[in-house]
Each structure stands twice: as C-alpha cells, then as structure tokens.
Copies of this chain bind each other. A is one copy, B any other.
Amino acid sequence: MIAIGERSALAGGTPSSSRGLGIGSEPRSSSSPKPGFVALSDLGSVNSRLSSKGSIRIEAMEGSRTVTVSETDLNTNGHAGNLGKNQSLLSSIGNSTNIKWHECSVNKVERQKLLKQKGCVIWITGLSASGKSSVACALSQILHRRGKLSYILDGDNVRHGLNRDLSFKAEDRAENIRRVGEVAKLFADAGVICIASLISPYKRDRDACRALLPDGDFIEVFMDVPLQVCEERDPKGLYKLARAGKIKGFTGIDDPYEAPLNSEIVLTHKGGDCDSPIEMAEEVISYLEEKGFLRA
C-alpha cells in the first residue's frame, strides 16, 4: 500500500534538485515548517523548482513505493492529476467547517499557555552512578509540586518499548540515543518539560540531540562526579565487574566518557558522603526560572 495521506514529497527528477514538499493533509505539529493542508503557493513554488522536462519523483512517506511519473501526468501547476481541481474542494472543506490547516492545529504556543510553562528538554548526562536518575526524580517532584508537567525519558523504559529492536552494537547505541532525542523533541513540542536521563557518553550523540531543538530549548545537565566517587558508590557492583574484566567497554573504565564542555548546567560533586539530589535539582529549577521556562 501507499499511505500517501500521511505525506507525499514531490521532488525534482534529479537528486540534486530534489526537495521535499509536504502536500499531505495530515496535521503537523507547530514546529513543522509547512502547513498540512495544500497551499497553492507551496505548490507553485515547487513547480518553479521542477525541471522543465523529464520525470517527477513522488515519494510516499508512509507508503511503500517511489513512483516516477512523467510531467504529462501533472497539470500546468505541477499538481499530480486533478490536484488543481481538488484545491478548491479542500478549501471548501475548510470553509464549511471553519477548519483550515494554519488555524486548525493547536500549536506549541497554545499548549504552553494551557500548561503555563515552556516545553524543553533537560538532558542529564554523566557516568554510571553519578546520580542522574536521582536528580531527574527530584526535578520531576519539584516541578510537579509547582504545578508543572514534566516527563522522564529513561533508557530503561525506552529499551523495553520503542527501542526494544536495538542491540548493543555501536550503531545501535547511537540510534538508541537518537530516538530518545527525537521523542524528547516531540514532548517539548507538546509543551512538556522533558527530562532525559542517559549516560550518553559521546559528545557527537548529545550534540545531535541538541540540534533537534530550537536554540535554548535543549538544556544539558552534566553530572560532574569524579569516576572515583561513582566507583565507590557502585550501587550495582558493575564497576567492580568492569575492573575485574568481566564487563568490557564500560564507560569510564575502558570506554571513554566525553565530558561536556559547554553544558548549560554543571552539577558538581561537593565532596560530602552523598550529595543531595534535591539541592542539585534546585539548581536546574533556578535555571528554568531564570530562562522563563516555568511560565507561558
């Protein structure tokens, strides 16, 4: 099947000129660059990008096939088949229901007003046993008490569900983090303060997740706890196994942890027997307040 309804891309016939055009009628989020309903201006602009001769490639995004049709299948507006005629049908549907794309979907700003907060991603990175989860929990508690909606994405949940198809090969580990980043982005778009808690040892992977979000909406929190402290804590006894060579490629032991250089927030080990996750979380809360994330 081709589920063109989800999205189609109409692109130039040559790879270099191919540029996607959303002509799907499915709703898009506010962060999506294009409206879901067909816009004549969009089609016009795509038409201008088409080569004057040759074939057009239509890609069905939630479908299965790539089809090549000649330009004779397209009318002079660059529409496939009777698309031009149906433009007015779509508009008519819009008018009759007072629903047109650009005013149809509830957008991020509206959701944020409802929630009285701004969606963002708080990405907590650090060694095993550095206290990421404790800070994430404390943070979610404080936010909840203040009437703010947060959601924790943890590697465990995600490995059991969304990412259960992934193995532990290097590329699958990167894919694990990529998907968490993509899901975190959706939560932020929904207006939620999304707390992602993953060791995420490589700068490249973290930066790729950062790049998915608008500037300022990805807040990296580095749990700057010395390896020695994490190893002394060793709540699961796994550092011990790693030192004994029973586990290979353990972050901090025989695989690197690339410490962030420009994190928005660095939570440092104060040297006490155990740092207070709540105190650390309060540092994050202060940042969120200062940057305006806790109001619409």
Over the window 153-194 of chain A, the binary record of Cβ atoms lying under 8 Å from chain B Cβ atoms (1 yes, 0 no) is 111110111100100111001011001001101110111100
A236 with B23: in contact, given A141-B106, A151-B186 (CB under 8 Å)? yes
A155 contacts B199, C-beta separation under 8 Å? no
Residue A64, interface by CB 8 Å: yes
Q: Are A67 and B144 in contact (CB under 8 A)?
A: no
Instruction: Tell whether A157 pairs with B82 under 8 Å between CB atoms, given A67-B241, A151-B186.
Output: no
> Which residues of B lie under 8 Å from residue A212 when comparing CB positions?
161
**Alpha-carbon distance A32/B155, docked complex (angstroms):** 12
* A45: Cβ under 8 A from any B Cβ: no
Partner of A156, one of B28, B136, B183, B237: B28
A296 at the interface (CB under 8 A from B): no
Bound Cα distance from A157 to B89, whole angstroms: 24
Does A132 reach chain B (CB closer than 8 Å)? yes
Query: How near does chain B come to A105, taking the closest CB pair, in angstroms?
Result: 5
Interface centre among A129, A198, A251, A257 (most CB of B within 10 A): A251
Q: How far is the CB of A158 from chain B (nearest CB, A)?
A: 8
Q: Which residues on B sit within 8 Å (CB–CB) of A62?
A: 155-156, 159, 173, 176, 198-199
Tally of chain A residues near chain B (CB < 8 A) = 128
Q: In the complex, A183→B149 CA distance in Å?
A: 17
User: What are 9 A-B pairs at a CB distance below 8 A?
Assistant: A3-B128, A8-B238, A24-B155, A27-B152, A62-B199, A64-B168, A86-B235, A89-B274, A151-B190
B residues less than 8 Å from A40 (CB atoms) = none
A32, A182, A240, A252 — most chain B CB neighbours (10 Å)? A182
**Using Cβ atoms and an 8 Å threshold, which residues of chain B touch A256?**
1
* CA A102 to CA B90, docked complex, whole Å: 51
* Contact residue among B6, B110, B134, B251 (Cβ-Cβ distance under 8 Å from A155): B6
Interface residue stretch chosen among A73-81, A260-268, A286-294? A73-81
Residues in B with CB closer than 8 Å to A97 are 134, 138, 274, 276-278
A157 to B138, CA, bound (A): 32
Considering the complex, give the chain B residue whose CB is closest to the CB of A150: B106
